[in-house]
């Protein structure tokens, strides 16, 4: 069980690294108007999303649910777990939205300014703080 939990945490760290870094790449990408830089950003964004973030998200979910399966009924009676799973679901939606943004940049269809990406760059911080507090503290509501 501890190995499964460790892999879950390692995958989560890798996933969040991508969730923090990809919007920052969008900030820089949206500022540059140089075809050479544009191609470099496209490669970086595509590889980060498809080769690092997607596998890390998949492994985070797989090993997270595997960990929960050891005490499924207990976790399903814990209100903090319901909130955590809701936040994980919203985080998945955010991840998918970032994928849409990657595709927009790939097709030269980005219409958002750098300031927009600076704002969405803060979203994963909220999720990380609340999810970790819920998982570690397990507050009673």
Q: Residue range 75-88: average pLDDT?
A: 96
H-run or E-run covering 83: helix 79-106
**Cα radius of gyration (the chain):** 17
Q: What is the pLDDT of residue 64?
A: 97
Please choose, from the candidates 11, 18, 12, 16, the residue with its C-alpha nearest in 3D space to the C-alpha of residue 44: 18
Question: What angle, 0 to 180 degrees and rounded to 10, lies between the N-to-C axes of helices 2-31 and 35-47?
Answer: 160
Tokens of 77: 């009676």
Q: How confident is the model at residue 33 (pLDDT cuts 50, 70, 90)?
A: confident
- Residue 104 has phi, psi (to 5 degrees) of -60, -45
Report the predicted TM-score, pTM, of the whole model to 2 decimal places: 0.94
- Chain segment 100-128, per-residue pLDDT in tens: 999 999 999 999 999 999 999 999 999 99
Asked if residues 21 and 30 have their Cβ atoms less than 8 Å apart, the reply is: no
pLDDT at site 34: 87
Banded model confidence at residue 77, pLDDT cuts 50, 70, 90? very high
Q: What does the pLDDT read at residue 118?
A: 97
The first and second tokens of residue 11, run together, are 């995958």
Residue 45's nearest CA partner among 91, 108, 93 is: 108
Q: What is the DSSP letter of 43?
A: H
Nearest CA-CA partner of 57 in 49, 47, 46: 49
């Amino acid at each position: 069980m501890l190995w499964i939990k460790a892999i879950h945490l390692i995958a989560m760290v890798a996933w969040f690294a991508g969730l923090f870094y990809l919007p920052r790449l969008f900030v820089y990408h949206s500022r540059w108007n140089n075809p050479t830089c544009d191609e470099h950003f496209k490669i970086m964004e595509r590889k980060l999303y498809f080769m690092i973030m997607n596998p890390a998200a998949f492994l985070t979910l797989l090993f997270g649910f595997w960990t929960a399966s050891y005490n499924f009924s207990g976790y399903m009676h814990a209100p903090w777990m319901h909130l955590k799973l809701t936040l994980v679901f919203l985080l998945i939606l955010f991840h998918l939205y970032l994928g849409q943004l990657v595709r927009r940049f790939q097709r030269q269809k980005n219409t958002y300014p750098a300031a927009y990406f600076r704002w969405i760059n803060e979203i994963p911080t909220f999720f990380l703080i609340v999810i970790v507090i819920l998982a570690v503290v397990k507050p009673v509501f």
